[in-house]
Structure 1
């Protein structure tokens, strides 16, 4: 691979990714079927120029990030990730919230990291089990939602 081009000049497939949580150690049950919410957006404030009705200036205000959502099949309560979510969301704020860094890596066909995003200061804000339907033969899915302070693309 050379420069910014991928094999054959095509973008990489988005289905081969890994997620690490914490101090870089791979959480054994951090296999997810879907990751979303890696985004950065600048909020702006509309300011109307006095005496000039043709212009509305958009001034930069702040940077915001949506919540990160991770989806996967249901796992056991002994999962370190489930324990972190459970402690944070069911802890009634008795213990302080423990923010961690979540790293999402897009991998190439041979396992090489093509792109990586670090989501700093992440903590669970929602833990959701998708609805059950007796007429479908599907895996039971849990969705974990995390707020994060900021993100940085490292590759």
Structure 2
């Protein structure tokens, strides 16, 4: 049995979606906080319809480029000193006095041995929406914040 098959054995397939980590470029590889959910990890093309002159049986659908991309991070409201909170504050609360700093973001799906079994990188990400979910006096749920990041492109690494 090879080392890779022992690290990525049959216990890792199909992978579970509940054990993952998110790493921001500004945190120097450290995880910022525990996230409840990550969504928006997709790729989709914009297309245009072209009708060919003289051929009326069908139309062509041609790619024009990638659709806008958004990565949504959902977690309990983080402390004031969190690198992600500081990054969001620099974008949303400083009235563009300082330039928006884009940074790479990594999402890693982990196995039971705390090793990444799948990984995605998101280039030039920056916050475009920072939302606190509603508070409800009749519920005992954790206060949640959603942070939407726009990014240039993504790659699956593993």
Does the alignment reach a TM-score above 0.5?
yes
- The count of residues paired between Structure 1 and Structure 2 equals 153
Is the counterpart of residue 76 in structure 1 residue 79 in structure 2?
yes
Residue matched to 1:11:
14
TM-score by length of 2: 0.89
Residue matched to 2:65:
62
TM-score by length of 1: 0.91
How many angstroms does 1:30 deviate by? 2.5
How many angstroms does 1:91 deviate by? 1.8
Unaligned runs of 5+ in 1: none
Is the counterpart of residue 45 in structure 1 residue 34 in structure 2?
no
Asked if the contact 2:23–2:31 (Cα under 8 Å) also holds between the matched residues in 1, the reply is: no
Equivalent of residue 134 in structure 1, options 128, 132, 137: 137
- Structure 1 runs, 4 residues or longer, greater than 4 Å off: none
Unaligned runs of 5+ in 2: none
Q: Equivalent residue of 1:11, what SS?
A: coil
Q: 1:51-101 deviations in whole A, cap 9, x for unaligned?
A: 222111011110224310001101221212101101111221111110000
How many Å separate the matches in 2 of 1:12 and 1:115?
Answer: 9
Greater helix fraction, Structure 1 or Structure 2: 2
Q: How does 1:115-130 map to 2 (within 5 A)?
A: 115-130=118-133
